[in-house]
């Protein structure tokens, strides 16, 4: 397995281009199952998860071709469709469950394996099942697979989710576009990725209102047509690279970034003593003066602080002045990076869903192991702030969500390299 070596760094300076959003693209790609006409996605990220979704869609009968070095995805599903999403592919990535709604809408039946992905606690499918059942689907779990079918197709309905699940919102949204009648989803997720999916579906002919709010209304149509759609900028990659100059000093401009994508994150950075400025090209970030100040963080659904930036924020706060408390309210078991940061000299106490971080003067380089996608990049950030050399192993997690991280960080002056494993 590959490893990443990071050496303690001085100030960073330059520009980092932000790729299209992984989580948005993974929801957009299954939308090709809803139409016989081509769907083209521009500004696509070049990640292993995108390749996994390509493999899954191909197994279902869709064609996905990567163009312009992977930045454009041309998809089509005009032939015979296989309704079975097999375990061997689905286990690799949780977002694979997003084929369930489109398959039900297009075919009226589907068999989808329970998904895999990062080991960051229970992320049950029952919210998805409840949402699709409200539209008339009959779903049962047998031998690790969800067996779903409809009687005469999906039908519009009003459904309120018990939790604002992003994935369940996306599954409901795609399924409802071809359902008969009007569907209303209450307590819907509000993330930018939901708005991006709705924009794409509207370009395909769907009738959707209210995306970006807690209530989304969908008027079902008979068919969807092809479209070309640009993937929204990745707000998690954006937030991650915004932390680079906060940790190392200097000034970095994240090209394509918009503050409204991560406003709550920017508010916490401001409180910690980090300057965030919207420019014509993106977001410019630098320290205001001196040492970072301790701040408290609570992860919440959008527009709250993103759970996918919690690990990276912890890396910053390890050397802050004072004591910070991070509360994880989205996923259980998402502080697995804390023991690895302790190996680097951090002072962290974890109690259930709370982590207390007592800032230290300096971190020390060490051999550490990535436990999940966001934890892996948090250890790289910590390595940039540490004295000496840090080796991060098991970085296959990293490649699921960050495009060419070594190249992007090296371009602004970071001392980082990848070591190929056997």
Q: Which residues are catalytic, by number?
A: 118
Whole-number Å distance between alpha carbons of 189 and 187: 7
Nearest 5°: CA angle at 134, between 131 and 137?
95
Nearest alpha-carbon partner for 201 in 72, 44, 34: 34
Instruction: Report strand pairing: 3-7 vs 389-393.
Output: antiparallel
DSSP of 162-192: SS--HHHHHHHHHHHTTSBSEEEEES----H
Whole-number Å distance between alpha carbons of 39 and 41: 7
Identify the sign of the CA torsion 375, 24, 230, 30: positive
Phi, psi of 203 (to 5 degrees): -65, -25
Nearest alpha-carbon partner for 150 in 184, 100, 113: 100
Whole-number Å distance between alpha carbons of 320 and 182: 51
For residues 173 and 201, the answer to whether their CB atoms sit within 8 Å is yes
Identify the sign of the CA torsion 127, 133, 137, 138: positive
- What share of residues in the chain are helix, strand, coil (percent, to 5)? 35, 30, 35
Which distant-in-sequence residues (6+ apart) come within 8 Å of 230 by Cβ? 20, 41, 42, 43
Phi, psi of 358 (to 5 degrees): -95, 115
For residues 148 and 139, the answer to whether their CB atoms sit within 8 Å is yes
């Amino acid at each position: 397995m590959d490893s990443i070596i990071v050496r303690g760094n001085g100030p960073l300076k330059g520009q980092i281009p932000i790729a299209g959003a992984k989580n948005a693209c993974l929801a957009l790609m299954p939308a090709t199952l809803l139409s016989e006409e081509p769907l083209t996605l521009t500004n696509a990220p070049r990640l292993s998860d995108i390749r996994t979704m390509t493999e899954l869609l191909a197994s279902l009968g869709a064609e996905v071709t990567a163009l312009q070095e992977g930045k454009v995805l041309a998809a089509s599903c005009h032939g015979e469709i296989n309704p079975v999403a097999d375990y061997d592919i689905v286990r690799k990535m949780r977002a694979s469950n997003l084929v369930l709604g489109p398959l039900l809408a297009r075919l009226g039946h589907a068999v989808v394996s329970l998904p895999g992905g990062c080991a960051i606690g229970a992320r049950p499918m029952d919210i998805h099942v409840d949402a699709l059942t409200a539209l008339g689907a009959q779903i049962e779990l047998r031998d690790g697979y969800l067996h779903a079918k409809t009687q005469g197709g999906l039908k519009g309905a009003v459904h309120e989710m018990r939790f604002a699940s992003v994935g369940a919102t996306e599954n409901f949204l795609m399924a409802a576009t071809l359902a008969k009648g009007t569907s209303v989803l209450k307590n819907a997720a509000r993330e930018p990725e939901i708005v991006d999916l709705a924009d794409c579906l509207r370009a395909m002919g769907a009738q959707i209102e209210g995306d970006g709010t807690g209530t989304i209304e969908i008027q079902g149509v008979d068919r969807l047509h092809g479209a070309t759609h640009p993937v929204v900028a990745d707000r998690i990659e954006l937030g991650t690279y915004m932390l680079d100059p906060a940790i190392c000093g200097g000034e970095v401009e994240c090209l394509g970034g918009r503050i409204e994508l991560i406003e709550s994150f920017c508010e916490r950075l401001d409180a910690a003593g980090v300057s965030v400025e919207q420019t014509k090209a993106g977001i410019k970030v630098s320290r205001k003066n001196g040492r970072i100040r301790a701040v408290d963080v609570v992860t919440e659904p959008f527009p709250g602080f993103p759970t996918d930036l919690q690990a990276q924020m912890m890396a910053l706060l390890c050397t802050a002045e004072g004591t910070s408390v991070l509360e994880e309210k989205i996923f259980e078991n998402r502080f697995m990076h804390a023991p690895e940061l302790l190996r680097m000299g951090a002072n962290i106490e974890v109690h259930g869903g709370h982590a207390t971080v007592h800032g230290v003067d300096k971190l020390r380089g060490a051999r550490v192991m990535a436990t999940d996608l966001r934890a892996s990049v948090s250890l790289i950030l910590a390595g940039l702030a540490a004295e000496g050399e840090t080796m991060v192993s098991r970085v296959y997690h990293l490649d699921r969500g960050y495009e060419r991280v070594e190249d992007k960080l090296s371009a602004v002056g970071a001392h980082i390299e990848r070591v190929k494993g056997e």
